[in-house]
Amino acid sequence: MEINETYVKEIIEKVLKDVEKAQPVASSKKQLGVFDTMTEALEAVQKAYKLFRKYSVAQREQMISKIRELTLNEAEVMARMGVEETKMGRIEHKVIKHQLVANKTPGTEDLKANAWTGDDGLTLIEMAPFGVIGSITPSTNPSETVICNSIGMIAGGNAVVFNPHPNAKEVANYAVDLVNRGIIAAGGPENLVVTVKNPTKESSDEMMAAPCVKMLVATGGPGVVKALLSSGKKAIGAGAGNPPVIVDDTADLMKAGRDIVLGASFDNNLPCIAEKECFALYNIADELIYHMQQNGAYLIKGEQIEQLKNVCLIEKNGKWGINKDWVGRDASKFLKAIGIDSDAKLVICETDANHPFVQVEMMMPVLPIVRVKDIDEAIELAVQAEHGCRHSAHIHSKNIDHLTRFAQAVETTIFVKNAPSYAGIGAGGEGYTTFTIAGPTGEGLTAAHSFTRQRRCVMVDGLHII
Ligand code: NAD
* CA angle, 413 then 160 then 74, to 5°: 80
Residue whose Cα lies nearest atom 11 of ligand 1: it is 165
Residues of the chain with pLDDT > 70: what percent? Answer: 94
Q: How sure is the predictor about 462, in pLDDT bands with cuts at 50, 70 and 90?
A: confident
Question: Which of 13-22, 80-89, 139-148, 276-285 shows the lowest per-residue confidence on average (mean pLDDT)?
Answer: 13-22
221 lines ligand 1 (CB under 6 A): yes
Q: How sure is the predictor about 281, in pLDDT bands with cuts at 50, 70 and 90?
A: very high
- How confident is the model over 46-60, as a mean pLDDT? 98
As a whole number, the mean pLDDT across the chain is 94
C-alpha–C-alpha distance, residues 139 and 142, integer Å? 5
Per 3-state DSSP, the chain is made up of helix, strand and coil in percentages (nearest 5) of 45, 20, 35
SS3 240: coil
Per-residue pLDDT at 222: 87
- How confident is the model over 30-38, as a mean pLDDT? 97
Per-residue pLDDT at 29: 75
pLDDT for 27 beyond 90: no
Express each pLDDT in 294-344 by its tens digit. Answer: 999 999 999 999 999 999 999 999 999 999 999 999 999 999 999 999 999
Domains of the chain, with CATH numbers? 5-239+443-457 (3.40.605.10), 244-427 (3.40.309.10)
440 lines ligand 1 (CB under 6 A): no
Q: How sure is the predictor about 14, in pLDDT bands with cuts at 50, 70 and 90?
A: low
Q: How sure is the predictor about 9, in pLDDT bands with cuts at 50, 70 and 90?
A: low
137 lines ligand 1 (CB under 6 A): yes
Give the distance, in angstroms, between the CA of residue 211 and the centroid of all CA atoms in the same chain: 28
User: What is the Å distance from ligand 1's center to 140 Cα?
Assistant: 8
> For the chain, how far is it from start to end, CA to CA, in angstroms?
95
User: What is the Å distance from ligand 1's center to 239 Cα?
Assistant: 7
pLDDT for 97 beyond 60: yes
239 lines ligand 1 (CB under 6 A): yes
User: What is the Å distance from ligand 1's center to 219 Cα?
Assistant: 5
Per-residue pLDDT at 19: 43
- How confident is the model over 184-205, as a mean pLDDT? 98
216 lines ligand 1 (CB under 6 A): no
142 lines ligand 1 (CB under 6 A): no
Mutate to test the pocket of ligand 1, among 135, 139, 362 (most ligand atoms within 8 A of CB): 139
Express each pLDDT in 343-387 by its tens digit. Answer: 999 999 999 999 999 999 999 999 999 999 999 999 999 999 999
- As a dihedral over the C-alpha atoms of residue 388, residue 392, residue 395, residue 401, rounded to 10 degrees, the angle is 60
388: left (phi over 0), alpha (psi -120 to 50) or beta: left
C-alpha–C-alpha distance, residues 127 and 111, integer Å? 6
444 lines ligand 1 (CB under 6 A): no
What is the torsional sign of CA 313, 314, 315, 319? Answer: negative
